[in-house]
């Protein structure tokens, strides 16, 4: 009987230990501070249209200007005036809707000739009606226009002698706009000197004058 009690007393703690071992484990849980979401990158862009660059242009210049005396008149040994013109020449800023940006320019019409300008029939055997253009007896270059005060004509522009370049017409940079335009006439006059004796009197002499180049140049 005592032996049975001893076994019972020994086996009791084992049973208790078995109960302890079989209990489930319990873990602790704590609240955490929330974090902000990661930033999202995005690009920006735009579409910007630009106006074309303004520019000066020149049109309507004739390749030949014929000078003649007054109708019904002929040379008779006295000073004889010749005149001719080229009309419908236009100097204008190109483009209906443009911008000068930082490159605005004024414009100047220049007329350039060859050295030692003259009128001649180009016939070495007959130079009786040839004559030189000099600073005293030059080819006068005049401008006729109705374009307002922004366009300025130089009344003293000539071709003759050492003067082989004239600037008869201009508009300043300050006066220039995106719509500056002028249609004008270029008039030329020269005089056949007095006291000429034509070798072949009674005929018509076809005189060839100096080659003239009309150019629009830019100015600041």
Residue 10 lies in a domain: no
How many whole angstroms separate alpha carbon 191 and alpha carbon 77? 12
**Contact assessment for residue 109 and residue 216, using Cβ atoms and an 8 Å cutoff:** yes
Please determine, for residue 6, whether its predicted confidence score (pLDDT) is greater than 60. no
Strand order in the sheet with 139-145: 55-59, 80-94, 181-192, 139-145, 158-159
- Nearest-CA neighbor of 84 among 67, 100, 70? 67
Domain span at residue 88 reads: 55-195+213-219
φ, ψ of residue 204 to 5 degrees: the values are -100, 125
- Residue 24 has what pLDDT? 55
How many whole angstroms separate alpha carbon 205 and alpha carbon 207? 6
**Contact assessment for residue 218 and residue 56, using Cβ atoms and an 8 Å cutoff:** yes
Residue 148 lies in a domain: yes
Residue 115 lies in a domain: yes
Beta bridge partners of 119: 131
Residue 162 lies in a domain: yes
How many whole angstroms separate alpha carbon 183 and alpha carbon 62? 14
Task: State mean pLDDT over 194-201.
Answer: 96
Residue 5 lies in a domain: no
- Residue 8 has what pLDDT? 42
**Contact assessment for residue 51 and residue 97, using Cβ atoms and an 8 Å cutoff:** yes
Residue 33 lies in a domain: no
- Residue 158 has what pLDDT? 96
Residue 131 lies in a domain: yes
Task: State mean pLDDT over 99-113.
Answer: 96
Please determine, for residue 5, whether its predicted confidence score (pLDDT) is greater than 50. no
Please determine, for residue 4, whether its predicted confidence score (pLDDT) is greater than 50. no
- Residue 172 has what pLDDT? 97
Q: CA-CA-CA-CA torsion for 32, 34, 38, 39, nearest 10 degrees? A: -150
When divided into structural domains, the chain yields a total of 1
Using a cut of 0.85, tell me whether the model's pTM lies above it. Answer: no
Residue by residue, DSSP assigns 173-209 as: TTT--TT-EEEEEEEEEEEEPSS---TTTTS----B-
Residue 59 lies in a domain: yes
């Amino acid at each position: 009987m005592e032996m049975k009690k001893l076994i019972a007393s020994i086996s009791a703690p084992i049973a208790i230990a078995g109960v302890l071992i079989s209990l489930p484990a319990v873990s602790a849980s704590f609240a955490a501070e929330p974090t902000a979401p990661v930033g999202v990158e995005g690009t920006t862009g735009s579409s910007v249209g630009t106006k074309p660059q303004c520019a000066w242009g020149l049109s309507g210049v004739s390749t030949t200007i014929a000078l003649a005396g007054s109708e019904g008149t002929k040379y008779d040994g006295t000073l004889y005036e010749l005149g001719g013109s080229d009309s419908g020449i236009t100097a204008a800023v190109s483009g209906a809707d443009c911008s000068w940006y930082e490159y605005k320019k004024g414009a100047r019409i220049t007329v350039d000739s060859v050295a030692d300008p003259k009128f001649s029939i180009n016939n070495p055997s007959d130079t009786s009606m040839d004559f030189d253009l000099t600073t005293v007896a030059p080819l006068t270059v005049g401008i006729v226009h109705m374009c307002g005060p922004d366009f300025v004509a130089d009344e003293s522009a000539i071709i003759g002698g050492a003067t082989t370049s004239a600037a008869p017409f201009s508009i300043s940079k300050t006066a220039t706009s995106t719509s500056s335009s002028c249609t004008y006439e270029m008039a030329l006059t020269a005089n056949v000197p007095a006291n000429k004796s034509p070798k072949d009197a009674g005929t018509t002499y076809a005189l060839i004058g100096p080659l003239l180049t009309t150019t629009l140049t830019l100015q600041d």
